[in-house]
Amino acid sequence: MSDLFRDPASSTAHADSAVSVLSRRLILQGMGASALMAASGCTTASSGFDALNLDTTSTGSIRPMRPSISVDAQITSPDVMYAGLTDGAYAIPEVPYQKIKPQFRRQIVVDPTGEAPGTIVVHTKECLLYLVQPGGEAIRYGVGVGKSGFSWSGRANIQYGREWPTWTPPREMIERRPELVKWQNGQPGGLDNPLGARALYIFQNGQDTLYRIHGSPEWWSIGQSVSSGCVRLINQDIIDLYNRASKRNPVVVI
């Protein structure tokens, strides 16, 4: 039938239907384009699609939340951490923490190591030790490390620990410092003992490396390369680490 002979009402209905179909197609095409642009990280200027209340935010702009940091007076309050204390038969003196650089005081940080919880990680160049915690945190301690030529690195584990350990200088050390011959059979534990209040013994493949993580009465040496290869901590810090570590803790020294 010729358009000249169509019913005007019918023609209007057909026209409205065609416009409706075309509008739906345009909207669907627009939604698809918006989705593609969002997926590609693009952003769009304000358009007629704003009326649809579509979320066109690029997922690339959404950053993961930084892990929260715990608060613990035993780890985050210097006057508590470094107060004097009685440990067994020994009175450990207070440490003047104000004289220690803040980065070398015990603290909780976001774990930078990527190691499993329980792992002890020593960064010798930074003079820092990390005890990795669950949840993306680590307890960080300032340490003194070995002088050039005396350091050790590698992966190992803590074989065992000792409170107020006996220190026996290696033969090579006695040769360098003959005055230590008096301790060739061992220096009993005490406030003047170079191993301090605690020692953790590092073994690799079942063999003693002769390197230790231990305490020291020389708090001023923390943050320096001064030892004969061992990793030394403030006595209050080694007691804290000793209480948190256990036999067979993995150790990474880098």
Expressed in angstroms, the distance from the first to the final Cα of the chain is 90
Choosing from 14, 42, 127, 230, the catalytic residue is 230
CB 146 within 8 Å of CB 230 = yes
CB 189 within 8 Å of CB 165 = yes
42 is catalytic: no
127 is catalytic: no
Q: How many CA atoms lie within 13 A of 9 on its CB side?
A: 0
Choosing from 14, 123, 127, 214, the catalytic residue is 214
CB 116 within 8 Å of CB 197 = no
Residues forming the active site: 214, 230
